[in-house]
Amino acid sequence: MKPSYFDVHTHVNLKNFIGKEDEVIKEALNAGVWMVNVGTDIETSRKAVALSEGYGKGVYATVGFHPIYIGKEKFEYETFFDTASSPEVVAVGECGLDYFHIRDPHLIKEQKEVFVSQIEIANRLKKPLMLHIRSGPAGNAYADSLELIKLYARVPGNSHFFSGTIDEAKEFLSLGFSLSFTGVVTFASDYDELVRLPPLEMVMAETDAPYVSPLSVRGKENRPVYVREVADRIADIRFEPNEDVIGALFENGCRLFNVCTGHRS
């Protein structure tokens, strides 16, 4: 089927999908949904790469070390660099700062170091960044991330599951970072203003499956195929024609990840 949707941040590579990866991926591809399986540590990054190799077009991978694994697993620069060099890998991340799950100042310092290392990997490989940022009791992770991005990043990227302020969103956009939204927008109106803010070419749809299922399957397992519901809702929230938004969201994914030169022409 002709691809029409792009789930720019999903996790068929996580253990929730063991044994049904093929079913979940084919279900999406058959519905015209492309996806990026996002790595969260070295093991899930390798799994994401392996999944891409098995399907080719429409199934891509990122390689990254999620900030919540700081203090639990070791980040090894060379291993991540080598894995991220694979042609299947379209971005580096998810990486960033999480001040909700991690509050110890020593670990936050380490989060920043590992984030900067991953920005450097992205710079070296000229691949975009897939950001995970969450503020919390330990402070404003968006402000700190912006500071590091301004200092170090020489590539664009996407800020996944964006939950910062309007001003922070504007800063990300001005630095060339798109914002992506999950199924939460289908049942909560908290993000409506943010969803309307970016120019259409800087918005993305994602499922973050198996987490945050959209309204129609709330409480059940989330899957990449449900990105269609997220994309439809983004169009409604923005008061823009569904067809225009769907087309733009797909092209936005292709452009950021550099994956579909001319396939639609």
- Which spans of this chain sit near Zn ion (rule: CB under 5 A)? 208
Sheet of 157-160, strand order: 5-10, 33-37, 59-63, 89-98, 129-134, 157-160, 177-181, 203-205
Nearer to Zn ion, 5 or 235 (CB): 5
CB of 119 to Zn ion, least distance (A): 18
CA angle 41-205-256, nearest 5°?
Answer: 70
What distance in Å separates the CA atoms of residue 243 and residue 247, rounded to the nearest whole number? 6
Nearer to Zn ion, 133 or 235 (CB): 133
What distance in Å separates the CA atoms of residue 200 and residue 26, rounded to the nearest whole number? 28
Q: Which amino acid is at 214?
A: P
What Rg, from alpha-carbon coordinates, does the chain have?
Answer: 17
CA distances from 44 to 23, 37, 50 (A): 19, 9, 10
Nearer to Zn ion, 209 or 254 (CB): 209
Q: Measured over all CA atoms, what is the biggest interatomic distance in the chain, rounded to whole angstroms?
A: 51
Nearer to Zn ion, 98 or 208 (CB): 208
Nearer to Zn ion, 11 or 235 (CB): 11
CB of 161 to Zn ion, least distance (A): 7
CB of 207 to Zn ion, least distance (A): 9
What distance in Å separates the CA atoms of residue 246 and residue 35, rounded to the nearest whole number? 15
The contacts of residue 42 (CB under 8 Å, 6+ apart) are 65, 73, 76, 79, 80, 83
Nearer to Zn ion, 3 or 96 (CB): 96
Nearer to Zn ion, 38 or 246 (CB): 38
CB of 264 to Zn ion, least distance (A): 27
What distance in Å separates the CA atoms of residue 60 and residue 33, rounded to the nearest whole number? 12
CB of 16 to Zn ion, least distance (A): 12
Q: Which residue is nearest to Zn ion (CB)?
A: 208
CB of 19 to Zn ion, least distance (A): 21
What distance in Å separates the CA atoms of residue 64 and residue 44, rounded to the nearest whole number? 9
CB of 160 to Zn ion, least distance (A): 6
